Structure 1
Amino acid sequence: MFEGGHRLLFLGGLLLWLCMASPATSELQRLQHRAKPDGTLSFLVVGDWGREGNYNQSEVASQMGVIGEKVDIDFVISTGDNFYEDGLTGVDDPAFSKSFADIYTAPSLQKPWYNVLGNHDYRGDVEAQLSPVLKEKDSRWVCFRSFVLDAEIVEFFFVDTTPFVDKYFTDPGEHKYDWKGVEPREEYLSNLLKDVDSALKDSSAKWKIVVGHHTIKSAGHHGVTVELVELLLPILQANDVDLYVNGHDHCLEHITSTDSEIQFITSGGGSKAWRGDIKSWKPEEMKFYYDGQGFLSMNMTGDRADLILYDVFGQVLHKWFISKQLHDTA
């Protein structure tokens, strides 16, 4: 499926569609979250976390609570791999409490959690994470395969990236994936790409942020996800996306692009990290890499976004801002 020439044929067909198709209304689920009365928005981003408190998950959660209170967050974004090693077994799996409800207990974290699915989540019962039963168990939990979150000054486009990756289909090894709702894969991906493109084109938000689990640019263990570079990245570039935020690699990264305005952020340090696992990258693009645990905070106005990467102790590792008026960073 999409290996070698097959993937090139699919890409060619997709590009032809993008050139010829007329604008359409996105069919992605749409949610709304109001900004603060002063027009600002604050949130945290964490990924690759669900290990029942182990591998410093609890410590990261504690610091998220501290920073969350300090910056008065409106919500939390999860970049996927919410439950290791193999997702949830069902809606009554105790891992939901042991890895989520019982871990992120700080008062500041009692806000909505907007989640995407990671590859480890697909190794379990995907429908369980999507089920409204989990929201009944913990009202913070919000999870769909792909959706749009309208937060007034910014729109977030959550994209289900796991079905893009060939090897999960062609060479899964000992792992079993739950592809209910995805197969036939070609049709699923084609529709998803059309919907993402349509939603981005329709957006009038000042900021556009795309959230997925898998990397597009990364110097970490998994590195570049070729399928996303071929199929998703051209859509992001064509629609003036500001940030692509992901997990998957268990590190913290900030990478810019020499051929577009998009900045690529990896926030996959929610629990287990991979010390010393880093590949070479263009120095003109690599702004920061940390091979440890931590998370991201963002504070946004209509004109400016301030981003900070923290370690497991809550120490500032890297901070920068993006000015919407100047299209510049510092």
Structure 2
Amino acid sequence: MAGLCSKSVALDLLLLLLLVALSSFLSCSAELRRLDHPLKNDGSLSLLVIGDWGRKGAYNQSEVATQMGRIGEVLDIDFVISTGDNFYEDGLTGVDDKAFEESFTSIYTAKSLQKPWYAVLGNHDYRGNVAAQLNPILRRIDNRWICMRSFIVNAEIVEFFFVDTTPFVKKYWIDPEDDHYDWRGVAPREKYISNLLKDLHQALKESSAAWKIVVGHHTMRSVSDHGDTQELLTLLLPILKSNEVDLYINGHDHCLQHISSKDSPLQYLTSGGGSKAWRGVFTPNADKLRFFYDGQGFMSLQLTKTNANVAFYDVFGRVLYKWSMDKQLDKEM
């Protein structure tokens, strides 16, 4: 078993080296779809981040949604980011699946939340009909819904790079147990990941935004139930560090976390407390843990060209933790 694991890591490292070699020959822009989102008149941006939520209101999903609406109004948010696992347990069955309305439209009803929702797919979404979540027909049902595999949202001072992380995780391919994963449009895995990383690397390299933020479903660093995702540490993390990405935002673990990299400015932020939580697991890792809450809640992010302000809230809307970074001074506050 140890020999197989070593061979697997070696193949992943080879894939990364090939990617870096190929990227040096590229002169054209990356192929990720780009969307533009305007800033406020004062040049700022405000948003909420929620993950692992779609349970038709159960497990306090409705209560978290109520507080999101309240905080969203106070902060005058511009949009919402969903870090995946949008519909439990097995995604959507099709574009006519009532779970879309029962878990999304009928839950996030506050006026402040009637803004674009930029969403990535999680592993539970891949257990259903992935094409349904990606289908523009859902926008006719609820025009807030914007979901793609990987894409970029450009808001002038910041670019958000949304990354489809589920195909990275090998166990979903080779040992899915009783689960079925919808790999249409993704297989073969190695080619899909290679192309995605090549495009992401080029897009990050060409970005002139003051802030570079990458959003994915899976944890990169986590002290909770799922822990670190080794495939992301091997393949994705070097690209983030080499391109000076500021934040990696994810869900997957049903908690709220802030972890700082010990060898780079990169910050890991987990917002996966949209519904079912309380796993009772804590396993420290090599990086610096700044905040961990094993429960339900969500995150806010406020940005100007020089400042980032993060806050985590619990199911009652109480502020659990705040953190800020000053880009101009290039140090944490």
Do both proteins adopt the same fold according to a TM-score greater than 0.5, normalized to the shorter chain?
Answer: yes
The aligned residue for residue 328 of structure 1 is 331
Q: CA offsets per residue over residues 1-53 of structure 1, 9 Å max, x none?
A: x9641442242243143145323310001001011111000000000000000
Measure, in 2, the Cα distance between the counterparts of 1:198 and 1:68.
34
The equivalent residue for 1:154 is 158
1:1-330 superposed matches below 5 A: 4-19=6-21, 21-23=24-26, 24-282=28-286, 285-330=288-333
Question: Where does the alignment leave 5 or more consecutive residues of structure 2 unmatched?
Answer: none
Cα distance in 1 between the residues matched to 2:209 and 2:55: 36
User: Runs ≥4 in structure 1, deviation > 6 angstroms?
Assistant: none
CA contact (8 A) 2:19 2:197 kept: no
Q: TM-score, normalised by structure 2?
A: 0.96
Cα 1:35–1:162 shift into 2, 3 Å? same
Distance in 2 (CA, whole Å) between partners of 1:72 and 1:89 is: 34
Counterparts of 2:77 and 2:35 in 1: how far apart (Å)?
Answer: 18
| Whole-angstrom CA distance in 2 between matches of 1:189 and 1:3 | 19
Whole-angstrom CA distance in 1 between matches of 2:150 and 2:17: 21
The two structures, once aligned, show a CA RMSD in angstroms of 1.2
How far the C-alpha of 1:329 sits from its partner, in A, is 1.5
Unaligned runs of 5+ in 1: none
CA contact (8 A) 1:76 1:113 kept: yes
Contact 1:3 1:166 (C-alpha < 8 Å) held by counterparts: no
Structure 2: how far apart are the matches of 1:36 and 1:61?
A: 24
The 8 Å contact of residues 110 and 140 in structure 1, kept in 2 or not, is answered as yes
Cα distance in 2 between the residues matched to 1:242 and 1:276: 29
Counterpart of 1:209 in 2: which secondary structure?
A: strand
Inter-partner Cα distance in structure 2 for 1:17 and 1:46: 31
Structure 1 residue 328: Cα displacement: 1.4
Paired residues in the alignment total 328
| More divergent stretch after superposition (115-124 vs 16-25) | 16-25
Q: How big is the shift at 1:276?
A: 2.0
